[in-house]
Structure 1
Amino acid sequence: MSSSTTRATSVPRAVTPVRAPVWDVRALLSEEWDAFYAAVLDAFHETEPAQATALWRRLGEPERCVVVRDGAHLVGTAGIFSFRMTVPGGQLVPAAGVTMVGVRPTHRRRGMLADLMRHQLESLQRQGEPLAVLTASEAPVYERFGYGVAARRLSLDVQSRRLSLRVPAADEVTLTLEDPYAALDLTEELYARQVPARPGMLARAPGWEHLPLLDPPATRAGARPLECVVARIDGRAAGYARYTVTVEWSALNTAQGTVRVRDIEATDPRAYAALWRFLLDTDLTSRLLAPNRPVDEALLHLVSDVRRCAPTVLDSLYVRVVDAPVALTARSYAAPLDVVLDLDDRQAPWNRGRWRLSGGAAGAVCARTYDTPDLSLDAAALGSAYLGGTTLTELAAAGRVREHTPGALARATTAFASPAAPWLPHSFCRSLLSRL
């Protein structure tokens, strides 16, 4: 890579003005929470058990919610949860969890969603929040607002009776069934130990530890209540799994049960393997569903026949870079990097233009430059690459990144990589129960 002193200079492109808003987006009044939440349910055509509504009321941040009114009615909504998210290098970075974005059916296709997202993005920039993240109910919606798929999830549908599992040193692991609530402090401590190791994981603030335990009877569809198994090695907790079991019987009185894995965390490979063997060997079951696992799930290297796991990769976490220089310097890089990025960001004109990013494993600096760009990309492509789960090379193959300096793409791809695939262990979308 040539140094900045030898590069040609040119003026960064002019900023295209953002269109004027059509709708008046305003802050939610504290007494309007019930009406706000009712509007969210209407937008998603949903009803909800009281247990779930009570939890979202406790977790909600009304002061970070905005609405659009039409007369006396709330017809558009958007909210934010205040998170800290792991980025490559293990740092926890403030990230706005965008949630409860909806427009009542009577007011769709009128530009209201665009105004809500624009207002929210500008507010985040003023507040100094470098990243926004969301999970999308409809995948095509958010790329036009600069969000890119940064983490994917692996969904497994395992024929558990038709495979075997390699379990190293199984005799060293002790498993105990424990009440999920009684074991909560222990399981949260194990979860917190995993957070720095994987980009995309969220440090759970007080109250969020109850989200994985959400288990309204009305949503169980015949399953038993949520169960928890804890793995210990030499008396110390080394992992846990939370799951439900549904048992159905055929006309021949044969059990055809299903284990549905809510979450599983382990700090030791022995505990990890022992927990999976326990789940796969559950009596009266022949199927295991794990709808949200990281794409580099180690289970696929323990089973005798990966085809019996029917792995399917789906989109999960979308990332929006709100403040490009702050976000790019908040993470570290897997290899030395010196690159000029030409960023096209139509929704956030303060990001638009050329940025010199220099750094490595110890950190980075990012500043505006007039130098000739090495790579050009848009905001959604940068969001996709930010956590290291989507490579710049694959984005370039799709025409989403352009290389101007030979070799810059390969070097930047190596630098942006993460040793662990990014993953969001649980959604923060309030339309959640079907995804747990």
Structure 2
Amino acid sequence: MTDIDARDQPADPRSAERLHRSGFDYRIIDTADAQATAAFLRAETRGFLDAEPTDESRDEMAGILQDRRNIGVFDGDDPLPIATVNSWVTPLTVPGGEVPMWAISSVTVSATHRRRGIARQLLEGELRAAATAGVPVAGLTVSEATIYGRYGFGAAIPVAQLTIDARRAGWGAPDASGRFAYVEKDELATVLGELHDRARTQRAGQIAGWPARWRRMAGQGPSDKGAAEVRGVVWRDDEGRPRGAVAYRLAEVEGEFRAQLQVRHLVADTDEGLRAMWSFLLHHDLVNRVSVDLRPVDDPVTWLVADQRAVTQRVHDHGWLRILDVPAALQARTYAGDDLEITVEVTDALGFAEGIWRVRVSGGTATVQATDAAPDVTLDVATLSSAYVGGVPLTQLAAAGRVHGDGAQIIAFSEALRSPEAPVLSIWY
């Protein structure tokens, strides 16, 4: 999909200069230096309110950092960074294809250095590095939802947290004809990764995973206190191919001799595989309730059960996207509805996506060119980014006062951006 490597990009000179004026040193971490890597990891875990890394967890996390561009901000001679960020380039699934995405993670600023402009330089530095590398979209998942809009990110991939009363739900779908089996954690991690690799191309919003992610989901994370409780089940079709898998744990309901089933990761690469996995979860003996997060908002489970009122859905933001190159981003995906010609003005306080763009859609594909024509529609880059993969209707954003212009053109553009299935992002990063 792309041979761009984030590690080839140097520390952003503008952020470096601005932080230097404040007495800070902004630089890339040498992951060949064990002490520097350990200090980065200590700062990262502290920023996310986690426990200090153990030797074992440090070794695993250091392995992850080897594949990423890691930046620390330092105050004086202290070897422990006061701020961290890392990034890598990954394929992002969009309707009809993929686009390179600059994934941003590990954004932390020490509680001792708040409100010093450090986070701004971290984020803007990442966006400049991505744009310089020719990556058209940046993305992240966030712990605080009010921070990233100021940098042009938009909440683009909503997901559903589902809670199902298993005693009430019943079952109203055909039974799968394949076979379930408990598997050991090594095999579970492998199957989760393989299924994700196949399934992630089927819905917009997904990105590629990495081995440590699946080991953690399978209960092999060295710092995971609940790892011993993780169980894994795989469903294979009649030909013996793995088509669905789940990692989960059971929590006892005090005084009832029953349990709550908490899903850590659920994945299937066919509809039948997904039905099979839901059947296993909802028919599990002695379970009162099943809970799972990071599901698509159109998950079919409400139509698999006999009583839809047993299913409670809470939709929340999850995947945030930021368009950097409007023509490259819009030309990377396909479009729904009729052919379309529209002039779109995008405003961008940081300048990356600023411009007026003539968008022509024919046969489901788009060509995008800069123009000086009067715009039919005007919106900011965060709003366009929210609508980009089809998870948020442009008409909904217009109703919120975030899109302006010709009403008929807004409706037509919203229809064109629609995704045939709700986008989803099934992991944190």
Q: Do residues 95 (structure 1) and 98 (structure 2) align? A: no
C-alpha change, 1:411 and 1:270, in structure 2 (3 Å) is same
For residue 351 of structure 1, give the secondary structure of its aligned residue in structure 2: coil
| Superposition RMSD in Å | 2.4
User: Secondary structure at the residue paired with 2:298?
Assistant: coil
Q: Provide the residue aligned with 2:136 in structure 1.
A: 130
TM-score normalised over the length of structure 1: 0.86
AA partner of residue 89 (structure 2):
S
Question: Match for 1:354: what amino acid?
Answer: I
**Shift in alpha-carbon separation, 1:226–1:359, aligned structure 2, 3 A:** same
The alignment partner of 1:342 has SS state of strand
Matching of residues 143-292 of structure 1 within 5 Å = 143-170=149-176, 172-205=177-210, 208-216=213-221, 219-220=224-225, 224-250=229-255, 254-292=256-294
Q: Secondary structure at the match of 1:408?
A: helix
TM normalised by structure 2 equals: 0.87
Structure 1 residue 19 displacement after superposition: 11
Runs of 4+ that moved beyond 6 A: 18-21
Question: Deviations 1:133-172 (Å, cap 9, x if unpaired)?
Answer: 10111010101110001101111122111120123144x2
Cα distance in 1 between the residues matched to 2:237 and 2:68? 42
SS in 1 for 2:200: helix
Q: Per the alignment, do residues 48 and 296 of structure 1 end up closer, same or farther by CA in structure 2, a change over 3 Å counting?
A: farther
SS at match of 1:168: coil
Alignment of 1:108 onto 2:114: yes
- Structure 2 distance, partners of 1:186, 1:310, is 29
Q: Secondary structure at the match of 1:181?
A: helix
Asked if the contact 1:223–1:245 (Cα under 8 Å) also holds between the matched residues in 2, the reply is no
Q: Secondary structure, in 3 states, of the residue corresponding to 1:175?
A: strand
Q: Secondary structure at the match of 2:144?
A: coil
Q: d(CA) in 2 for partners of 1:220 and 1:286?
A: 24
Q: Is the 8 A contact 1:222 1:246 kept in 2?
A: no
> Once the two structures are superposed, what CA deviation does each residue of 1:187-216 show, in whole Å capped at 9, x if it has no partner?
433322212210111133565543432444
Contact 1:22 1:112 in 2 (8 A): no
What are the within-5 Å matches in structure 2 for residues 27-426 of structure 1? 27-30=28-31, 31=33, 32-47=36-51, 50=54, 52-61=57-66, 64-73=69-78, 74-89=81-96, 91-170=97-176, 172-205=177-210, 208-216=213-221, 219-220=224-225, 224-250=229-255, 254-335=256-337, 336-347=339-350, 349-403=351-405, 405-426=406-427
Query: How many residues in Structure 1 have an aligned counterpart in Structure 2?
Result: 404
Q: Does the CA-based 8 Å contact 1:164-1:303 persist in structure 2? A: yes
Unaligned residue ranges in structure 1 (runs of 5+): 1-17, 429-436
AA aligned to 2:86 is G
Structure 2 CA distance for partners of 1:244 and 1:142, relative to 1, 3 Å:
same
Distance 1:247 1:56, change over 3 A: same
Q: Distance in 1 between matches of 2:376 and 2:70?
A: 39
Deviations 1:203-238 (A, max 9, x none): 335655434324448745597233223232343333
- Partners of 2:236 and 2:259 lie apart in 1 by 23
Deviation of the 1:361 alpha carbon: 4.8
Q: Contact 2:41–2:53 (CA<8 Å) still a contact in 1? A: no
Distance 1:20 1:210, change over 3 A: closer
How many Å apart are 1:29 and its aligned residue? 3.2
Residue 124 and residue 270 in structure 1: after superposition, are their counterparts in 2 closer, same or farther (change >3 A)?
closer
Aligned-partner residue type, residue 19 of structure 2: W
Counterparts of 1:66 and 1:299, CA distance in 2: 42
Q: Distance in 1 between matches of 2:83 and 2:278?
A: 44
- Give the share of equivalent positions with the same residue, in percent: 31
Task: Provide the secondary structure at the position in 1 that maps to 2:391.
Answer: coil
Change (3 A) 1:62 1:83: closer
Matched position secondary structure for 1:109: coil
Provide, for residues 260-302 of structure 1, a one-character-per-residue CA deviation record: whole Å limited to 9, x for no partner: 1122223443332232121122222211111221111110111
Task: For 1:76 and 1:183, locate their aligned partners in 2 and report how far apart those are by CA, in whole Å.
Answer: 35
Distance (Å, rounded) in 1 between the aligned partners of 2:52 and 2:427: 19
What is the DSSP-based 3-state SS (H/G/I as helix, E as strand, rest coil) of the residue aligned with 1:65? strand
- The separation in 2 between residues aligned to 1:361 and 1:218, in whole angstroms, is 50
> Greater CA deviation, 219-228 or 189-198?
219-228
Letter in 1 for 2:311: C
Structure 1 residues 26 and 188, CA gap change in structure 2 (3 angstroms)? closer
Stretch moving more, 174-183 or 213-222: 213-222
Query: Take 2:414 and 2:98, find their aligned partners in 1: how far apart are those partners?
Result: 22
Look up the equivalent residue of 1:81 and give its one-letter code.
Answer: W
The letter for the 2-side match of 1:36 is: F
